[in-house]
A and B are shown apart, each in its own frame.
Chain A
Amino acid sequence: MTNPVAAVGRVTLAFMATTGRLAVFTGQTLRHCLQPPFYGRLILRQMVTIGYFSLPVVGLTALFTGMVLALQIYVGSSRFNAASAVATIVVIGITRELGPVLGGLMVAGRVSAAMAAELGTMRVTEQIDALTTLSTNPFKYLIAPRVIAATLTMPCLVLVADIIGVMGGYVIGTQKLGFNYGSYLKNTFDYLEIIDVVSGLVKAAAFGFILSLMGCYHGYHSRGGAQGVGQATTNAVVSASILILVANYLITELFFAR
């Protein structure tokens, strides 16, 4: 058992098995997301849970991020007399990166965890098996509505976060740093390009897919009672967060690399 080569082999095999299982799970999820019938009522309910109830968390995150961004960029840029760039950098920073990424991470903490806990409990109390015996596919009924709702809702959430974040920067810029109201707004919009916002919203949709998929995957495959559900919840949040950061890099590369 202490043979190090065997340990490497064991880890590799476990990794391969998990990758394979996740790939199959993703494929099945996509199939059920795209193929009718759709459960409109369930999708709507999930959209409310994921979108509407995440608004306070995401809004506060965006507000303080925008505020701190304005302060920091002012300090940094005034060292080489570029303080007028604050508005531009805040808006680009928020729309391209901080809105989607921080929003995604906050929602991952809230929603992936809840999904993993809910599906995990349903798994260990045999409710998922019960669905099957009642001629209802758990992918169709439980997973697809969650993934569809998260993928559609995240861009809306991030759009709101973008607006609140820029507003946070605006408040600090005009109230604390002494910028003129009009010129701050002008600087905000003059250099903003559509691609900045669109790339952020594409990221948001991808993050919504990732965080709901991770929540569902870990919940669906959880086992072993309360401890197993706890483990599933932790794994869901950790893997969703890491995958969001990886996907963020890849999508940024796709959009902006020359």
Chain B
Amino acid sequence: MTDPAPVPKLAFRGVKKHFGRKVVLDGIDLSVDPGQSLVVIGGSGTGKSVMLKCVLGILRPDAGAICVDGQNVVGLRGRARDEMLGKFGMLFQGSALFDSLSVWQNVAFGLIQGRKMPRSEAQDIAMENLGRVGLGPDVGNLYPAELSGGMQKRVALARAIAAKPEIIFFDEPTTGLDPIMADVINELIVECVKDLGATALSITHDMASARKIADRIAMIYKGRIIWSGSRAEIDDSGNPYVDQFIHGRAEGPIKMDVLKP
């Protein structure tokens, strides 16, 4: 790269992905600078989750490149892939806690299995991270099924940050939570990302959440990024799609596939 600007921490270049005849990603171009928090907004089924899964190698894009620290990670295998994955943490939409393991074992999982840390040391770190998200040490010995949705989300957040990742993905972090708990989670996310100095990429359709955790916002529609700008610019983007979405109007350029009688 001859560009004097810093190498983006994470960059999508023309990423395409289709399932059968359905085109989900139609040439995504997007980059996130180190330490920045980017939120991608967009309706349901616009390919937001697929984007994240392509980075992690859970899905393989049909075309394009995804660069982490300037290195293309599409199709990485073996040790190189493990190393790449070690930079990431992810908060899943449904928390995705392992229900056969206790809360602290969930939080310590990446440390014990991924980094081969001794269990007692990993347990201390797990407890410390649980404290960070406002959960007491007594919660550590419970099982995920015994927790409420909001607590599960917090445990999942503790798990995502436990291994001090450089990049954190948040997949609809506030979906299914009441507005107050959603705000608590948003604040925890902002705090944790800032503490770690991590780069964050979130996807959501909750505008309150987006306004809270984003430095920059990008909007995805029909598999393409149709707008991106700083958080402050979103209210006068001049883009009719963005306006319709942030105000949640049924009328506008975005047509939902709803059959009217």
Q: Which residues of A contact B (CB under 8 A)?
A: 122, 125-127, 129-130, 132-136, 141
Contact = CB atoms under 8 A, between A and B. Distances in A.
A132 B114 CA distance: 10
Contacts of A129: 53, 56, 58, 92, 96
Most buried by B among A122, A134, A136, A141: A134
B3 to A, nearest CB: 30
Contacts of A133: 56, 85, 88-90, 169
A127 B53 CA distance: 13
B109 A127 contact: no
Given A127-B98, A129-B56, A135 B110 contact: yes
Interface in B12-62: 53, 56-58
A150 B109 CA distance: 25
Contacts of A141: 113
Interface in B69-92: 82, 85-86, 88-90, 92
A128 to B, nearest CB: 9
A136 B86 CA distance: 10
A125 B58 contact: no
B115 to A, nearest CB: 7
A125 B96 contact: yes
Given A135-B82, A135-B86, A130 B113 contact: no
A134 B58 contact: no
B67 to A, nearest CB: 19
25 contacts: A125-B94, A125-B96, A126-B93, A127-B97, A129-B58, A129-B92, A129-B96, A130-B90, A130-B92, A130-B97, A130-B98, A132-B57, A132-B85, A133-B56, A133-B85, A133-B88, A133-B169, A134-B114, A134-B159, A134-B163, A135-B110, A135-B115, A136-B110, A136-B113, A141-B113
Nearest to A122: B98
A126 B114 contact: no
Given A129-B56, A130-B98, A141-B113, A135 B92 contact: no
